[in-house]
Amino acid sequence: MSAQTQATVGKATESACWCCGRATSEDALIRLGNHPEVGICVNCVHFLGRRARDYQATVMRQRLRGTAESIRAQVMARGWHDHPTFGPALRWINRHLPW
């Protein structure tokens, strides 16, 4: 078998990652369930996993921010922030909340 033939055989078992485009061996590609023609390399799978976790964290932060805004609106509507006993504590919490 010549060197050119071996190179051809080697290329036959490699495919390009659909995410980064890097040539990857067929065994190292992860195929999508409903689209088996799409193969993604392990590095890109980890990258996509990080992106998914970042997205979920953003969604969770938005929910927490929405809940905090709702509670803040209820406190303001009832005038609890001006209450002489616990008003200062509520205003302190409002200043130190991260959202």
Measured in degrees and rounded to the nearest 5, phi and psi for residue 17 equal: -65, 135
- Least distance to Zn ion from the beta carbon of 75, Å? 49
Task: Closer to Zn ion by CB, 20 or 59: give it.
Answer: 20
Q: Are 17 and 10 in contact (CB under 8 A)?
A: no
Residue 17, number of CB atoms within 10 A of its CB:
20
Contact pattern for Zn ion over residues 27 through 56, marking x by CB under 5 A: --------------x--x------------
Q: Is residue 20 at the binding interface for Zn ion, with CB under 5 A as the rule?
A: yes
Q: Is residue 75 at the binding interface for Zn ion, with CB under 5 A as the rule?
A: no
What letter represents residue 73's amino acid? A
**Closest to 13 measured CA to CA, from 4, 1, 24:** 24
- By CB under 5 A, name the binding residues for Zn ion: 17, 19-20, 41, 44
